[in-house]
């Protein structure tokens, strides 16, 4: 039986322990500061914030390029001879990374590509769903696995409130960025993934502790999330009391498992410090 290997980008923020445990292969995206290119995961997230404090500039990010994908897929085949690769990619609506994977895939057989139309915890939720499928059905045919993953993609729901609006605006990843301008600088926008695009759908006023509670209530009212698993995504700087509060609300709402995911450098470049996101799969 040929082994199926799952892969994704660093922008999925799949926790290192889970990636290692389940042999999920992760290709890094890029952060650029002062014209120097860093691989996502190679520098502390705090370097991003320190750079902004020092320069008042936001680092910018770039996607994994076709040559890097070629090397990445080749390395997987070297490490797992005769394996089948299923790559679950960062949304093509916000990055060229997936298209670059498509270009590189032309040189490989038995390589399946899935556009998850999601980022960070929303993408991680899809990847970890695929991990669970493989654990339950280790002999599943790759075509069947891909079909099941593709069916779950529209059910992965991500919503987050950024810690710093400056970072979000500068990153240019929100389609209706004009909505966030002017007087709204004192207001926290709710950002959701809609058809693979990051869109501001609502605004919250008040302290972050109250905002995050409303975020959770609104999220659960809008989506019928499977109670087996919930993901909270946070960027460094989020108050620990807010984490405790969110855990309590999740427990009150019957979630069996809650996993906290720290946003990596690539995602934190856009979200800024102190942000909170929620991700899960609809039933």
Q: 151, 182, 212 — which closes off a domain? A: 151
Q: 116, 151, 186 — which closes off a domain? A: 151
Give the chain's domain count: 2
Output the average pLDDT for the chain.
92
H or E stretch covering 211: helix 208-222
Residues 56-74, mean pLDDT to the nearest whole number: 94
Residues 197-213, mean pLDDT to the nearest whole number: 90
Residues 249-270, mean pLDDT to the nearest whole number: 96
| Whether the predicted pLDDT of 273 surpasses 50 | yes
Q: 151, 173, 195 — which closes off a domain? A: 151
Range of the domain at 100: 4-30+62-151
Q: What pLDDT is recorded for position 165? A: 73
Q: What pLDDT is recorded for position 189? A: 86
Q: Judge whether 44 lies within some domain.
A: no
Q: Judge whether 39 lies within some domain.
A: no
Q: What percent of the chain has pLDDT over 70?
A: 93
Q: Cα(186)–Cα(206) distance, rounded to whole angstroms?
A: 9
* H-state helical runs in 156-197: 165-171
pLDDT digits (tens, 9 = 90+) for 256-265: 999 999 999 9
Helices and strands: H and E segment counts in the chain = 10, 13
pLDDT digits (tens, 9 = 90+) for 146-175: 999 999 999 999 999 988 777 766 655 555
**110 and 246 assigned to the same domain:** no
Give the pairing of strands 84-89 and 111-115: parallel
Range list of β-strands (E), the chain: 4-9, 25-27, 30-33, 36-39, 60-62, 84-89, 111-115, 156-161, 188-194, 197-204, 230-234, 258-262, 276-281
**195 and 223 assigned to the same domain:** yes
CATH value at residue 95:
3.40.50.10170
pLDDT digits (tens, 9 = 90+) for 84-126: 999 999 999 999 999 999 999 999 999 999 999 999 999 999 9
**225 and 205 assigned to the same domain:** yes
Q: Judge whether 131 lies within some domain.
A: yes
Q: What pLDDT is recorded for position 160? A: 95
**87 and 120 assigned to the same domain:** yes
CA distance readout (Å), 270 to 119, 171, 245: 12, 5, 25
| Whether the predicted pLDDT of 225 surpasses 80 | yes
- Find the largest Cα–Cα distance for the chain: 60
């Amino acid at each position: 039986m040929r082994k199926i290997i799952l892969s994704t980008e660093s922008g999925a923020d799949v926790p290192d322990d889970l990636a290692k445990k389940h042999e999920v292969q992760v290709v890094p995206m890029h952060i650029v500061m002062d014209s120097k290119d860093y691989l996502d995961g190679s520098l502390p997230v705090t370097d991003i914030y320190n750079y902004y404090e020092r320069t008042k500039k936001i680092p910018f990010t770039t996607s994994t390029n076709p040559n890097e994908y070629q090397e990445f897929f080749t390395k997987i085949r070297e490490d797992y001879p005769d394996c089948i690769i299923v790559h679950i990619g960062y949304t093509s609506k916000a990055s060229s990374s997936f298209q670059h994977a498509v270009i590189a895939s032309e040189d490989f057989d038995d390589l399946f590509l899935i556009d998850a139309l999601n980022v960070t915890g929303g993408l991680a939720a899809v990847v970890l769903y695929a991990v669970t499928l493989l654990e339950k059905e280790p002999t599943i045919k790759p075509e069947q696995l891909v079909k099941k993953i593709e069916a779950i993609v529209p059910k992965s729901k991500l919503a987050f409130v950024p810690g710093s609006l400056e970072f979000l605006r500068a990153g240019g990843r929100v389609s209706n960025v004009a909505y966030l301008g002017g007087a709204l600088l004192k207001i926290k926008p709710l950002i959701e993934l809609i058809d693979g695009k990051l869109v501001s759908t609502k605004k919250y006023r008040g302290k972050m502790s109250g905002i995050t509670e409303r975020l959770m209530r609104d999220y659960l009212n809008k989506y019928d999330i499977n109670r087996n698993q919930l993901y909270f995504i946070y960027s460094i700087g989020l108050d620990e009391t807010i984490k405790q509060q969110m855990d309590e609300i999740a427990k009150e709402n019957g979630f069996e498992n809650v996993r906290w995911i720290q946003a990596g450098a690539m995602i934190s470049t856009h979200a800024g410090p102190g942000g909170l996101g929620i991700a899960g799969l609809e039933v």
